Amino acid sequence: SAVISQKPSRDICQRGTSLTIQCQVDSQVTMMFWYRQQPGQSLTLIATANQGSEATYESGFVIDKFPISRPNLTFSTLTVSNMSPEDSSIYLCSVEDRVPGTAWTYGYTFGSGTRLTVV
Amino acid sequence: QKEVEQDPGPLSVPEGAIVSLNCTYSNSAFQYFMWYRQYSRKGPELLMYTYSSGNKEDGRFTAQVDKSSKYISLFIRDSQPSDSATYLCAMPLQGGSEKLVFGKGTKLTVNP
């Protein structure tokens, strides 16, 4: 399985500011996924990031609020912009685990998460 | 109706008990099923990945899928305090390289 390094692990931010979360993967991956995990709620996909193209956002999430960069096949960032207390959540990146050279997926690996508190 | 329903618990059992965790789903397009374990302040880690009806065993863990009833289960035998975590079921929306749809997770505590 891939190994993901996600930073920061936690942060407390003032409302109106922005925070950029980084994910580094130890292998090249086509797609990286960004999720939000709110207390008592399911993990919810924010967007899918492909290298070399615009990220694809899920319903309810917009690029102005959650801009994503994907400069290469091992790295991605998610920015939470103009934060409000409602953005307090855990943010996770994820990649698909595939058998090398095939389209066979055997799971998804997640980063350890970024616990964001907006005050 | 949510696509994936999972009782959030919490569930508390004594050490050595058999634990049964369950999810139901409404979308027949789900063909692959995963169970993740998430310890406090950690990301989810994959426990089991199945794609057919029936049972799949891995050590103390058994994943069961009943596609006709749209019902999946995870059984933990001889539960240990180290099994205390939140367990999430998840399904790829199109059975491949697509987003995962998660249940809310069931918080399990195994008491020594």
d(CA B35, CA B106): 11
Confidence of residue B96 (pLDDT cuts 50, 70, 90): very low
Q: What does the angle CA B68 – CA B12 – CA B85 come to, to the nearest 5 degrees? A: 75
At residue A101, the pLDDT reads 74
- What are the chain B neighbours of A41 within 8 Å (beta carbons)? 104
Distances (CA, A) of A84 to A12, A57, A87, B85: 12, 20, 6, 29
| pLDDT in 10s for each residue of chain A, 119 residues | 899 999 999 999 999 999 999 999 999 988 899 999 998 888 999 999 988 888 999 999 999 999 999 999 999 999 999 999 999 999 999 998 877 777 677 788 999 999 999 99
Q: Considering only CB atoms, which chain B residues are within 8 Å of A4? A: 43
What pLDDT was estimated at residue A94?
Answer: 95
- Average pLDDT for residues B44-56, to the nearest whole number? 90
User: Which alpha helices (H) appear in chain A, and where do they start and end?
Assistant: none
Tell me how far apart the alpha carbons of residues B2 and A59 are, in angstroms, rounded to a whole number.
15
Residues B15 and A55: their CA atoms lie apart, in Å, by 45
pLDDT bracket for residue B94 (50, 70, 90): low
Mutation site, B97, B101, B104, B106, interface A, largest A CB count within 10 A: B97
* Among A6, A33, A110, beta carbon nearest to B99: A33
